[in-house]
Chain A
Amino acid sequence: MSELELWLLFLAVGLGTFALRLSFIQFHGQLRLPPVLNRALAYVPASVLAALVLPSVVYPTADAELTLANPRILAALVAALLAWKTKNILYTLLGGMAVLWLLQSLG
């Protein structure tokens, strides 16, 4: 993509995101989502985040194979446990990276 196309794309995402953020604040009392969409929104974070996490853990590179020998899987499991117990992004990040580095230095 050319530099200009990149900027246009980023501008479009920026405007769309701003519209999402402004939506109900601007049209308070006038804007209503259909009930099913309203309920669907509750599942957006869990679905999207899981869809972002899982492929990048099990496929570290684009041409990698799905294998349990991949140290990122164990590191991610430890990180998930830390996220659950501590609810802290920094501890999750440090714990996960530490396990990955350890496994990589052993392997």
Chain B
Amino acid sequence: MQYTTGKDAFYAGVRALLPAAPGVIPFGLVTGVTAIEQGLSPLTTIGMTVLFFAGAAQMAALQLLRNDAFPLVILVTALVINLRFLMYSASMAPHFASLPKRWTWPMSYVLSDQAYVLSILKFSAGKAPLYGHYFFAGAAFSMWLTWQLAVMAGVFLGAEIPPSWSLDFAIPLVFLALLVPSVRNRACLVAACVGGVVAVLAAGMAYNLGLLVASFCGISAGLLVEHYQCRRPGRAGHSESEKTDSRKSEDTAP
């Protein structure tokens, strides 16, 4: 579908985001509830949500705050979790190349997993050549608003939810729902298994470095498997197709 005006494209982006909202709202609620249980004030929680605008990093930071981790450990852990935005940024860059800063800076701030996936599907299908950035803006700003409102609702519900509901279990469940589709080939599977097992073994590690160490082990394991698959001549064809799959998002990188 070609959009005739920017407004059309913007609202198409908003509509495209709607089906993702039921997945985001419970995550946001749980984040708000967790922050309040953590002893953060409502204002600090809202500030944190606006500054981060990254759910997984925010949840991990809250968990580390609960364990009294060093601020530097919290900062590095949050940024490692957010490293995926580098990938999205590289992938979106060619589509935003001709835009001025008053567009690219706000749009970078609202770049999220959901807005990225929805827009890159449109862009790579050549479906939004003229008003693509309006489509992205529609999806990304409605995602931003959904997230902020969901966390805020969690902040005000926080005290009302009894602990017997075990709502804290919603956090790993949401991560699980994101993890499963991210395992796209054998190398990713190995990365996930190594990352998970090392994280369990390192759970009691000093300075709460467990998550960081586990992530680096997982990433290295993934790279090793990829390297090993490339060098096995018998499997060259197979691993080649897997590699293309794992790099799909980088195809449009500069």
Task: State the Cβ distance, B149 to closest chain A Cβ, in Å.
Answer: 17
Residues on B with C-beta less than 8 A from A69 are none
Task: State the Cβ distance, A23 to closest chain B Cβ, in Å.
Answer: 5
Q: Is B152 an interface residue (CB 8 A)?
A: no
Residues on A with C-beta less than 8 A from B193 are 50
| Contact (Cβ within 8 A) A46 B174 | no
Q: Is B124 an interface residue (CB 8 A)?
A: no
- Assuming the contacts A18-B108, A20-B85, A28-B254, asked whether A9 and B195 have C-beta atoms less than 8 A apart, the reply is no
Question: How far does the alpha carbon of A103 sit from the alpha carbon of B41 in the complex, in Å?
Answer: 34
Question: How far does the alpha carbon of A13 sit from the alpha carbon of B47 in the complex, in Å?
Answer: 12
Residues on B with C-beta less than 8 A from A47 are 191-192, 194-195, 214-219, 221-222
Q: Is B18 an interface residue (CB 8 A)?
A: no
Classify chain A's interface size. Answer: 35 or more
**Please, which residue of chain B has its CB at the minimum distance from the CB of A77?**
B176
Residues on B with C-beta less than 8 A from A53 are 172, 175-176, 179, 196
- Assuming the contacts A25-B92, A36-B223, asked whether A46 and B65 have C-beta atoms less than 8 A apart, the reply is no
| Contact (Cβ within 8 A) B173 A93 | yes
Task: State the Cβ distance, A81 to closest chain B Cβ, in Å.
Answer: 9
Residues on B with C-beta less than 8 A from A41 are 83-84, 86-87, 250
Q: Is B228 an interface residue (CB 8 A)?
A: no
One digit per residue, 1 when the CB lies within 8 angstroms of any chain A CB and 0 when it does not, for chain B 214-239 equals: 11111101110010000000000000
Q: Would you call the interface of chain B mostly helix, strand, loop, or mixed?
A: helix
| Contact (Cβ within 8 A) A44 B53 | no
| Contact (Cβ within 8 A) B71 A5 | yes
Residues on B with C-beta less than 8 A from A87 are 180-181
| Contact (Cβ within 8 A) A42 B86 | no
Q: Which residues of B from 142 to 189 have beta carbons under 8 Å from A? A: 165-166, 168-183, 187-189
One digit per residue, 1 when the CB lies within 8 angstroms of any chain B CB and 0 when it does not, for chain A 1-25 equals: 1010111111111101110111111
Q: Is B17 an interface residue (CB 8 A)?
A: no
Q: Is B23 an interface residue (CB 8 A)?
A: yes
Residues on B with C-beta less than 8 A from A107 are none
One digit per residue, 1 when the CB lies within 8 angstroms of any chain A CB and 0 when it does not, for chain B 187-219 equals: 111011111111110010000001100111111
24 contacts between A and B (CB under 8 A): A5-B71, A6-B40, A7-B47, A9-B71, A14-B52, A16-B79, A18-B109, A21-B109, A24-B92, A28-B93, A31-B254, A41-B87, A44-B80, A44-B83, A46-B195, A47-B214, A51-B210, A52-B59, A52-B175, A53-B176, A54-B197, A72-B172, A92-B180, A96-B176
The list of the 9 closest CB pairs from A to B, nearest first, reads A47-B218, A89-B23, A14-B51, A43-B222, A47-B195, A50-B196, A54-B196, A51-B199, A51-B214
Known: A1-B65, A17-B82, A46-B192. 6 other contacts (CB 8 A): A20-B79, A20-B82, A48-B81, A55-B203, A79-B173, A100-B169
Query: Could you tell me which B residues sit within 8 Å of A by CB distance?
Result: 22-24, 26-27, 40-41, 44, 47-48, 50-54, 56-57, 59-61, 63, 65, 67, 71, 74-75, 78-90, 92-94, 96-97, 104-105, 107-109, 111, 165-166, 168-183, 187-189, 191-200, 203, 210-211, 214-219, 221-223, 226, 246-247, 249-250, 253-254
Query: Could you tell me which A residues sit within 8 Å of B by CB distance?
Result: 1, 3, 5-14, 16-18, 20-26, 28-29, 31-33, 36, 38-60, 62, 66, 72, 75-76, 79-80, 83-84, 87-90, 92-93, 96-97, 100-101, 104
